[in-house]
Amino acid sequence: MFIDDKEMMDVVVYYKRQGHDYEAYTKAEFDTIKMEDEEKKKFDVVNIKASVLTWGVYNDLQDSAMIINIDGDRRFNYKIYKENRLKKMVQEWDAKDKEGNPVKENEANMMKLSPIVAEAILRGLDESSFVSEEEENL
């Protein structure tokens, strides 16, 4: 019922560069995708340690994504929410550059992620943060 703020969850993302773009999947997606084993071997993996979502962080992330538009109305900005969620929750990763050197997990590097990879990380966070219907019914 109560989450320790130091508790971490594991998120795994499989990715493959295709020209200037990427293909990326969460572990759950990758495990169920219909693809030949030889093709699956072409994917690299990034292992991520992320903060566990607490009620307080959940509310802070939503509140930080509220903007005031030109008419003075408060609106939810989903782009800001996703960016803040990535920056706030990802604590560690084993990402490497082209030469195989470790890439520090910081805001600047997170903003350089391919949108496809960043979205896969966010989906992985969702998979790890929320209980599925199947798990709920156990």
11-23 pLDDT per residue, tens: 999 999 988 899 9
Contacts of 61 (CB under 8 A, 6+ apart): 81, 84, 85, 88
Residue type at 28? Answer: A
Are 91 and 49 within 8 A, CB to CB?
yes
80/98: higher pLDDT: 80
Nearest CA-CA partner of 43 in 12, 70, 67, 6? 12
Could you state, in order of their start, the residue ranges of all structural domains in the chain?
8-132
Does the pLDDT of residue 131 top 60, yes or no?
Answer: no
What pLDDT is recorded for position 136? 46
- Per-residue pLDDT tens digits for 60-76: 999 999 999 899 999 99
From the list 110, 106, 5, the residue with the least C-alpha distance to 58 is 5
pTM surpassing 0.95?
no
